[in-house]
Each structure stands twice: as structure tokens, then as C-alpha cells.
Structure 1
Amino acid sequence: MAIKKMTSLIPSCSSPEDLKRVLQTLGSTWGDVVEDLESLEVVPLKGAMTNEVYQINWPTLNGQDALHRKVLVRIYGDGVDLFFNRDDEIKTFECMSHHGYGPKLLGRFSDGRLEEFIHARTLSAGDLRVSETSDLIAAKLREFHELDMPGPRNVLLWERLRTWLKEAKKLCSPTEIGEFRLEAMGDEINMLEERLTRDDQEIGFCHNDLQYGNVMIDEETNAITIIDYEYSSFNPIAYDITNHFCEMAANYHSDTPHVLDYTLYPGPYP
């Protein structure tokens, strides 16, 4: 990946002065890093689907060429507010950061934020099918579902599906609406809600997007970290587990990232 100086990152941000101010505030809080922001090295990170993500390597005052501080800069993508509420996502991230879950929030600017850089590897599509890794994810997801998050414990799934369907109809041509059978999806959502809603279903705080790119593993300790909470909300935990199983059929780094291979869907546990 190309390493660039700080000036190369600024054009990606609509509020460069705001970003600089937040970085300067963070640097003064640390007290052991150089003040010249132009000496920061910026590494674009691949894999993010809704944002631009960068690793910043920040030289220390006594580190010579060694880079002792790392920060992750997340610049929010355009148009993604159609899929989730950005204000709710920021509140969720702040709450989880406050309680020590996931990366720490280091600062915010108008169209992005600074996060703790996690020294771990993002999973690949194949990693999800390794039974030992799947066990670790299951344990971490159980913790996620038991988080005591603020707000009403209302199921958001069905409302969100209807909202996405409404937006899809606005954006698609008549041909595309017919090709993707959008006119029939409203009735399908109603049918699924009626059949799947039960009084005894367990409701918990769900990630709702547990694809391999949102799971990181520390290969020294095997610690799992779940990241990116844009779609997180209260939902039936059975839905969250099923959605994760569906993600095992996806490979977003292939020539056909939108096509799911359901032969890869997990079978009964051996």
C-alpha cells in the first residue's frame, strides 16, 4: 500500500482544517509526538465499503525513524445515510468506546473521526470457515448481544427493510424494478415479519453486518474484536447469527462480490 504524507489525505476530507485541529488536540494530549502534521505518514487501508479508512503513522519526539504512535482515520462515505442513521451510529460507537468495547474514540471532525489503531489482522472470507476461528467469533458475538446499550429495545429489522425497499424503488429504473422483483418484496417482508415474529424470541443488541471485514483477530492472543457498528441495533439475536452465516457465502474481494455462493453456507456442527 502506498504511504503518503498528510497533505495527500487532506483532499479526501471536506473539512481539512477541522481534521487538522482534532489531530493537533490529540497530539498535545499525548505529548510525545512531533507537532508538524506534515511529517505524519498516511497509509490507505483497503476493505472498507462505506467509508475511506487510513492508518496514520505518527513519529515520536525521541523515536528517530521509529513510529511509536498509530491512529486510524475514518472519513464517512457519501450517500451511505440511505442505509443507516449516522447520528445513531456515532452514538453507538461512542457508547461502546466508553465501555471499553471495540476501538477507542480519539476524536471527531465534521465528516469523520479518529479511532484507536487495533494491532490485529482483519479476517478473510476463508477465515470464517475455520472452526476454531468460528468458535472465537461465536463467543465474542455472545458478548455483543448482551451489551447493555441505551435506548428502547425495539426490533429495527422490519422497518429498516421497508425503508431500504422504498429507497431502492426511487433509485431503480422500471426495468431494474422488474428484474429485482421489487414490487413483490413488500409482501415478502410482511410475510416474513408475520412468520418469524414470536413472543419468546430473544432480543439483543445485534451487529447486523458481521462479514469477515468487520472481524479482527490478534494472532498472538487470539483475541477477537468486532468493528464497524453502522448497522448495529436491537434485533432478534437469531437474525444476527443467521446473517453471519449468510456472510460465509460472500467474498467481497472477488470479481462478483454481489453474488453469494450458498454452497459455502455452514452445515451442522461436526
Structure 2
Amino acid sequence: MNQELINLFSTLSQDPTLVRKKVLEYGSDFLGGEWKTLTENDVDVVQMTGGQSNLLYLVKGKLSSESTTPSCFLVRLHCQQENQVFTDTVVFSIMSERGLGPKLYGFFPGGRLEQFLPSVTLDNDTVSDPEVAVKIGANLPKLHAIEVPIPKRPRAIVMIREFLEECRATGKNTFKFVP
């Protein structure tokens, strides 16, 4: 976890100037094009909410309508343990390369730049809808058939235990599990 970077982005609401400079650096380095000519006043940065293990920031640049460079991207700051970040990055890269997820624009110590795809998070009611469940189920075999160079041993139980330990480390002894 890159605490310095997380600390920098946490200042967004007080003074967005430093964050804007950083995302302009990322845009210039990884996307090039008009991102190289933008100033801090040409960029908006908004923290996205709802994530479970990372910090997400939507970056929008005021690019010309003729630009072929993406006008927005996500900055994803990793907050997981290093081994999980590595696995996540490998899987994301392969999915991106195969057109099965957002494009990977670049990665840097502590995070990555990726394509922003406007979407809605599926809630329990939506996933329980038979039509939606069938569509999801039809695509799962495609995802599971992808060869990725990561350990094949089951990790769900280990990940749940690690998550519970993180929860216990907060000092609270009561946990509410939502069905």
C-alpha cells in the first residue's frame, strides 16, 4: 500500500491543486495527446464511493471534441496487501487485454489508471432477477476458462479469514452480517 499517495489523494476536498497536478502527470505519462497540454484548471477529480478494497477517483479533462485521447479515466489506489495487489493487477491486465473489462492505461507504484465505464453496481435484487442471473451465469464459464499465471489453489476461505482479522483489528467486537 502506498500510504504517501493515499495521503495525497485524501487532501482532495481541502486543496485539490496537488491532486490535480498528480492526475495530470498520470494523464500525460500514460495517455499523452491533449493531456500533455492541460492545466490544473482543465481537470476535475471526484472520489468514487462504494468500493470495498481500493480508493477510486474519476478524472475528467476538458479536451477538445476532436480529440482521440480519452477525456476521462479512473485512478485506482490499492489498499490491499501486496500479494493481493499483484494477483489483482495480473488478472485485470489479462482481462483488459482480451477485451473483457476496462482498458488498462498504465500502472504505477500503489495503483493504476484504467478506462472509466459508466455503469451501475448490481444489487442483490438485480442479481436475483432470473433474466439477469441467466446472463451472468452464461458468462462465468468464459471467465473461468481464461488461463492466468496465478496460483490455482482455492483462496476464498483464506480471504474471508483475512477480512475478519482486519475487522477485528478495528477494535469493534460486534459485526453485522447482511444476508
Settle same-fold status: TM greater than 0.5: yes
Structure 2 counterpart SS, 1:85: helix
In terms of Rg, which structure is larger? 1
Aligned to 1:99: 98
Q: Which runs of 5+ in 2 are unaligned?
A: 1-11
Measured after TM superposition, the shift of residue 129 of structure 1 is 1.9
After TM superposition, the structure 1 = structure 2 runs for residues 56-135 of structure 1, keeping only pairs within 5 Å, are: 56-62=59-65, 69-77=71-79, 80-81=80-81, 85-135=84-134
Task: Give the Cα separation in 1 of the matches to 2:26 and 2:50.
Answer: 25
Check conservation: 1:34, 1:60, Cα contact below 8 A. Answer: no
Measured after TM superposition, the shift of residue 110 of structure 1 is 1.9
Measured after TM superposition, the shift of residue 22 of structure 1 is 2.5
Aligned to 1:171: 169
Distance 1:152 1:110, change over 3 A: closer
Task: Give the Cα separation in 2 of the matches to 1:260 and 1:133.
Answer: 21
One-letter code of the match for 2:53? T
Task: Give the Cα separation in 1 of the matches to 2:164 and 2:45.
Answer: 39
TM-score using structure 2 length: 0.70
Check conservation: 1:76, 1:111, Cα contact below 8 A. Answer: yes
Measured after TM superposition, the shift of residue 157 of structure 1 is 3.8
After TM superposition, the structure 1 = structure 2 runs for residues 83-232 of structure 1, keeping only pairs within 5 Å, are: 85-158=84-157, 160=158, 164=162, 167=165, 171=169, 176=173
Distance 1:157 1:120, change over 3 A: closer
Measured after TM superposition, the shift of residue 116 of structure 1 is 0.8
Measured after TM superposition, the shift of residue 135 of structure 1 is 1.2
Distance 1:119 1:74, change over 3 A: same
Distance 1:134 1:10, change over 3 A: farther
Task: Give the Cα separation in 1 of the matches to 2:167 and 2:102.
Answer: 36
Distance 1:162 1:129, change over 3 A: closer
Distance 1:34 1:62, change over 3 A: farther
Percent identity among equivalent residues?
Answer: 22
Measured after TM superposition, the shift of residue 96 of structure 1 is 2.1
Equivalent pairs counted in the alignment come to 164
Measured after TM superposition, the shift of residue 163 of structure 1 is 5.8
Task: Give the Cα separation in 2 of the matches to 1:157 and 1:141.
Answer: 17
State the superposition RMSD in angstroms: 3.6
Task: Give the Cα separation in 1 of the matches to 2:109 and 2:55.
Answer: 14
Check conservation: 1:74, 1:113, Cα contact below 8 A. Answer: yes
Aligned to 2:26: 22
Structure 2 counterpart SS, 1:36: coil
Deviations 1:84-134 (A, max 9, x none): 622222222222222222111101222211101113332233211221111
TM-score using structure 1 length: 0.49
Equivalent residue for 2:177, pick from 247, 259, 263: 259
Check conservation: 2:30, 2:106, Cα contact below 8 A. Answer: yes
Q: Which runs of 5+ in 1 are unaligned?
A: 181-257, 262-270
Deviations 1:209-242 (A, max 9, x none): xxxxxxxxxxxxxxxxxxxxxxxxxxxxxxxxxx
Task: Give the Cα separation in 2 of the matches to 1:93 and 1:155.
Answer: 19
Distance 1:124 1:81, change over 3 A: same
Which contiguous aligned blocks of 4+ residues in structure 1 show a shift greater than 4 angstroms? 165-170
One-letter code of the match for 1:144? L
Measured after TM superposition, the shift of residue 47 of structure 1 is 0.9
Is the aligned partner of 1:8 residue 2:6?
no
Distance 1:37 1:90, change over 3 A: farther
Check conservation: 1:34, 1:59, Cα contact below 8 A. Answer: no
Task: Give the Cα separation in 1 of the matches to 2:90 and 2:77.
Answer: 16
